[in-house]
Amino acid sequence: MGDQKKAIKDLAAGIENGQTAQVLLGATGTGKTFTISALYLRLILGPGGEQGFGRELLPPQILVVTFTDAATKDLRDRIRARLAAAARFFRGELE
């Protein structure tokens, strides 16, 4: 899990420094979907403070590309689950 956290931090740093595109490559089971869904949530919520992206991002402003229909469905489901969990958290519904 440490490698995934580093990947998220590195990708977010690139975006925060003005890079408008990021590529995440890895073999099967390396955590690409986990990393992309976490980064997506981070871009929506914003890390805040001086480390912030500099502007609010909405889902239509973020493009995520995968190579198969199955990967697209999996990624879409994970992003939706993370957004739903975040919403429950902010509504105080999570214990």
Determine the pLDDT at residue 52: 59
Mean pLDDT computed over 70-89: 92
Torsion of CA 79, 29, 21, 88, to 10 degrees: 20
Determine the pLDDT at residue 76: 93
Q: What is the pLDDT of residues 1-39, one digit of tens each?
A: 566 666 666 666 666 565 566 677 777 888 888 888 888
Mean pLDDT computed over 40-55: 71
Determine the pLDDT at residue 14: 60
CA atoms of 56 and 53, how far apart (whole Å): 8
Record the pTM.
Answer: 0.68
